[in-house]
């Protein structure tokens, strides 16, 4: 056990009630866009600033990078580098649907390979606030109440009798190979798609199945970011016995050249990921 990683996990858990508590008054858009060219809500900025300030106050944190800022912010000479999507699915704030905070803890400066992750997790702001953490090959789920974490699942594993799927992007923008793959999946699983990756991935962790945001005809790199979304989610799902892919190989084997690099992203039960890679590779 590393005290540094524990301290990072404590900060994320302690910050979750503040992020959640700050949502109601922050549903308005800021004038700036984030580095990926997407509109930022006041809530995105608020969550990002809270995490930056509190994580960089730790001796263990060497830098903080987030989806909401151009470059990583240096901290001390701490050994861990944190990448975060402070409010994944923040456009769901308007419709009052699920959102989350995603984070990855790397042992190398960013950008880095997914193999440099030493822990990853997410907070889900659903009807209750939960936190899922993967480290040392094990995934735990806790309920957060007033910053206190109570473990509710010691060893979370992806169920082996999958039931749900969700794929992003407009269907006419899907490639023929991907659309054909989805035709098969639709015969076996039921659709669950909520517009916040973290909520949809948590359904896969809960019920088994597959979530993906594919490369599109007009956007082969897809929508989601490797460092802030792809790596952490791949680390969590693989630690829970599932698989991840960019369409060819595990997302953890992908190393971005740039902080904000995008990637096609698929996570879920291994047979579905294997079939996907076979379908896209034909
Ligand atoms: P926002 O953070 O801008 O709401 O985007 C959410 C997201 O990055 C990811 O969480 C979703 O899976 C995906 O975008 C949804 O995209 P579509 O709106 O294209 O379905």
Q: Quick one: pLDDT at residue 122?
A: 98
How many other C-beta atoms lie within 10 A of the C-beta of residue 28? 10
For residue 19, what pLDDT is reported? Answer: 95
Which residue's alpha carbon is nearest to atom 1 within ligand 1?
89
Q: Taking 70 as the threshold, does the pLDDT of residue 158 lie above it?
A: yes
* Cα 195 to averaged position of ligand 1 atoms, centre (Å): 5
Our answer on whether the CB atom of 196 is closer than 6 Å to any ligand 1 atom is: yes
Provide the terminal-to-terminal Cα distance of the chain, rounded to the nearest Å.
44
CA gap 30, 54 in Å, rounded? 23
* Protein residue closest via CA to atom 19 of ligand 1: 169
Q: Name the percent of the chain lying above pLDDT 70.
A: 99
Task: Please say if the pLDDT value at position 37 is more than 80.
Answer: no
What pTM did the predictor assign?
Answer: 0.96
Which of the four pLDDT bands, split at 50, 70 and 90, describes residue 154?
Answer: very high
DSSP states along 63-103? EEEETTSSSPEE-SS-SEEEEEEEEETTTHHHHT--EEEEE
CB-ligand 1 contact for 195 (6 Å cutoff): yes
Q: Quick: pLDDT tens for 161-193.
A: 999 999 999 999 999 999 999 999 999 999 999
Q: What is the pLDDT of residue 238?
A: 98
- What tens digit of pLDDT does each residue of 223-272 get? 999 999 999 999 999 999 999 999 999 999 999 999 999 999 999 999 99
86 vs 101: CA distance, rounded Å: 5
Among residues 131, 74, 142, the alpha carbon closest in space to that of 101 is found at 131
pLDDT of residue 133: 98
Please list, in sequence order, all residues whose beta carbon lies within 8 angstroms of the beta carbon of residue 275, skipping any fewer than 6 positions away.
181, 184
Q: Closest by alpha carbon to 236, among 265, 260, 263? A: 265
- Could you tell me the pLDDT band of residue 35, with boundaries at 50, 70 and 90? confident
* pLDDT for the residue 143: 98
Any idea where the domains of the chain sit in the sequence? 2-153, 164-281
> Where is pLDDT greater, at 29 or 181?
181
Query: Which pLDDT does position 83 carry in this prediction?
Result: 98
> How much is the pLDDT for 24?
87
Residue 170 CA: nearest ligand 1 atom is 19
Q: What is the pLDDT of residue 42?
A: 86
Domain 164-281 fold is D-Maltodextrin-Binding Protein; domain 2 (3.40.190)
Q: Are 210 and 272 in contact (CB under 8 A)?
A: yes
pLDDT of 245: 98
What token pair was written down for 203? 């359904």
- Return the percentage of the chain with pLDDT > 90, whole number: 88
Task: Count other C-beta atoms under 10 Å from residue 3's C-beta.
Answer: 10
Q: Is the CB of 199 under 6 A from ligand 1?
A: no
Does domain 2-153 fall under CATH 3.30.540.10? My reply is yes
How does the average pLDDT of the chain come out, rounded? 95
CA 188, CA 79: separation in Å to the nearest integer? 45
Task: State the distance from the centre of ligand 1 to the C-alpha of 90, rounded, in angstroms.
Answer: 8
With a CB cutoff of 8 Å and minimum separation 6, the contacts of 165 are 185, 186, 189, 190, 191, 192, 209, 210, 211, 268, 272
């Amino acid at each position: 056990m590393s005290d540094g990683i524990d301290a990072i996990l404590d900060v994320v858990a302690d910050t979750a009630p503040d992020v959640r508590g700050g949502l109601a008054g922050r549903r308005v858009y800021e004038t700036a866009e984030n580095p990926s060219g997407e509109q930022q809500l006041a809530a995105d900025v608020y969550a990002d600033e809270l995490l930056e300030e509190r994580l960089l106050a730790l001796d263990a944190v060497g830098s903080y990078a987030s989806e909401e800022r151009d470059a990583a912010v240096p901290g001390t000479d701490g050994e861990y580098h944190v990448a975060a999507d402070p409010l994944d699915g923040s456009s769901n704030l308007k419709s009052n649907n699920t959102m989350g905070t995603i984070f990855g803890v790397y042992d190398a400066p960013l950008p880095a390979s997914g193999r440099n992750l030493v822990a990853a997790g997410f907070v889900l702001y659903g009807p209750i606030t939960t936190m899922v953490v993967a480290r040392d090959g094990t995934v735990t789920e806790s309920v957060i109440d007033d910053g206190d974490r109570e473990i509710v699942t010691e060893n979370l594993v992806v169920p082996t009798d999958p039931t749900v799927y969700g794929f992003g992007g407009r269907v006419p923008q899907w490639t023929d190979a991907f659309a054909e793959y989805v035709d098969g999946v639709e015969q076996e699983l039921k659709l669950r798609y909520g517009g916040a990756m973290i909520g949809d991935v948590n359904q896969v962790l809960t019920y088994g199945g597959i979530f993906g945001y594919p490369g599109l005809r007009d956007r082969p790199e897809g929508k989601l970011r490797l460092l802030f979304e792809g790596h952490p989610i791949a680390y969590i799902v693989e630690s829970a016995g599932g698989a991840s892919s960019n369409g060819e190989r595990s997302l953890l084997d992908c190393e971005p050249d740039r902080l904000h690099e995008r990637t096609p992203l698929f996570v879920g039960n291994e047979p579905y990921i294997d079939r996907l890679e076979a379908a896209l590779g034909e």
